[in-house]
Amino acid sequence: MFKIPHISPARLPELLRRMPKAELHIHIEGSLEPELIFALAQRNGVSLPYPDVESLRRAYAFTNLQSFLDIYYAGASVLIQEQDFYDMAWAYLQRAAADHVVHAELFFDPQTHTARGIAMETVVRGLHRACTDARAQLGVDATLILCFLRHLSEEDAFATLEQALPLRDLFIGVGLDSSELGHPPEKFARVFARCRELGLHLVAHAGEEGPPAYIWSALDELKVQRIDHGVQALKDPALVQRLAQDRIPLTVCPFSNVKLCVFPDLASSNLAQLLDAGLAVTINSDDPAYFGGYLNDNFVQTFAATGLNAHHAYTLARNSFEASFVTEAQRHDWEHQLKAVFESFSEHDF
Ligand SMILES: Nc1ncnc2[nH]cnc12
Ligand SMILES: [Zn+2]
């Protein structure tokens, strides 16, 4: 076991910013900043129901998940050309590099685009090209996870999978997102079974607004390897035991939970309780352009509000590597970098 050196609380924010980390829950369409929405709208001749950037930003006052999704899908309507998808992902990956994100698994929602007549290939090739350039030019390792929209039908999800199969090598897994309540994971059991046969990694949003029963069915019916959000798990002690025992990672998104009124404020986040329960928790930004900050902002402000310390920081960064869909060798390399950063902070303390 690595002995965490003493690090003064005053230097904790800088440590949080500097430590290498993985981001495993970021919807790339949720990284579309208002400025880029307006630039792409102009480039593509799309008209928006807001006169300017400021009035669009003012509309980002959400009361629940659905109130956010309505505006998030409207924002994505400016994405038309392959280059638009590239520009969106590239902007995120530059910010990720600045936050010392060494690995990112990007969610994308193809049905949002194919329903508007955009080809699957346009979406995936644009995003994939940005991931390739990020590796070469930014040193950020980035991969793609295709998410099915759960408010749409099983049939639509199967059709989406069919469209994506010629591009199978350009994404590593599938997820499940969009409106949770009323759309339990088991609705997609057969689609996920097929994806499992195809060797894809499996994740699903569950227990964001929905009950612990949705987390159970994501595990037992979909057989997912990670739970996205999962913050409602604490309502069910048997579920917490199961998550701990199987070391199922939870990709928790503190800013998102506050903006979507899951918790009243950051201090009410249950991150510390989830960690104390021995769960493999990670911190993520979800939809940073809509929720007020990127990954390091989530780390720094959540730590300040909840009183987490350097031990928690190390655990969270380590968990992010453990939960990543990468090779053991890659994981070890990043853990080594993580230890080096912690040790460098200890030296400067004296
Ligand atoms: N937080 C979230 N929950 C469900 N679906 C989403 N799509 C984008 N962000 C989401
Ligand atoms: Zn999400």
**C-alpha distances out from residue 15 to 18, 25, 95, 251, 348, Å:** 5, 21, 17, 21, 11
pLDDT recorded at residue 349: 47
Residue whose structure tokens are 């230097």: 11
Angle (CA) 115-119-122 rounded to 5° is 130
Compute the distance from residue 112 Cα to the ligand 2 centre, in Å: 15
Residues with C-beta atoms within 5 A of ion ligand 2? 286
Please classify residue 273 by burial: count the beta carbons closer than 10 Å to its beta carbon, then call 0-12 exposed, 13-18 middle and 19+ buried: middle
Q: How far is CA 271 from the centre of its chain?
A: 16
* Residue 104 near residue 26, CB atoms below 8 Å: yes
Contacts of 69 (CB under 8 A, 6+ apart): 178, 179
Which amino acid would we find at residue 254? P
Looking from the CA of residue 256, the nearest atom of ligand 1 is 1
Main-chain phi, psi angles of 187, to 5 degrees:
-55, -25
pLDDT recorded at residue 13: 98
* Residue 124 near residue 167, CB atoms below 8 Å: yes
Structural domains in the chain, sorted by start:
21-349 (3.20.20.140)
Q: What is the 3-state secondary structure (H, E, C) of the chain?
A: CCCCCCCCHHHHHHHHHHCCEEEEEEEHHHHCCHHHHHHHHHHHCCCCCCCCHHHHHHCCCCCCHHHHHHHHHHHHHHCCCHHHHHHHHHHHHHHHHHCCEEEEEEEECHHHHHCCCCCHHHHHHHHHHHHHHHHHHHCCEEEEEEEEECCCCHHHHHHHHHHHHHHHHHCCEEEEECCCCCCCHHHHHHHHHHHHHCCCEEEEEECCCCCHHHHHHHHHCCCCCEEEECHHHHHCHHHHHHHHHCCCCEEECHHHHHHCCCCCCHHHCCHHHHHHCCCCEEECCECHHHHCCCHHHHHHHHHHHHCCCHHHHHHHHHHHHHCCCCCHHHHHHHHHHHHHHHHHHHHHCC
Q: Is 208 annotated in the active site?
A: yes
ipTM of the complex: 0.98
Compute the distance from residue 177 Cα to the ligand 1 centre, in Å: 6
Catalytic residue among 23, 208, 209, 221: 208
Main-chain phi, psi angles of 130, to 5 degrees:
-65, -40
* Residue 321 near residue 287, CB atoms below 8 Å: no
Residue 25 is labelled as binding a ligand: yes
Tell me the pLDDT of the chain (350 aa) as tens digits: 788 888 899 999 999 999 999 999 999 999 999 999 999 999 999 999 999 999 999 999 999 999 999 999 999 999 999 999 999 999 999 999 999 999 999 999 999 999 999 999 999 999 999 999 999 999 999 999 999 999 999 999 999 999 999 999 999 999 999 999 999 999 999 999 999 999 999 999 999 999 999 999 999 999 999 999 999 999 999 999 999 999 999 999 999 999 999 999 999 999 999 999 999 999 999 999 999 999 999 999 999 999 999 999 999 999 999 999 999 999 999 999 999 999 999 855 44
Residue 286 is labelled as binding a ligand: yes
Compute the distance from residue 341 Cα to the ligand 2 centre, in Å: 29
DSSP, collapsed to helix, strand or coil, labels residue 146 as strand
Residue 169 is labelled as binding a ligand: no
Which ligand has the shortest distance to the CA of 208?
1
Main-chain phi, psi angles of 30, to 5 degrees:
-85, 0
> Nearest C-alpha to atom 7 of ligand 1 is from which residue?
178
- The pTM of the full predicted model, rounded to 2 decimals, is 0.98
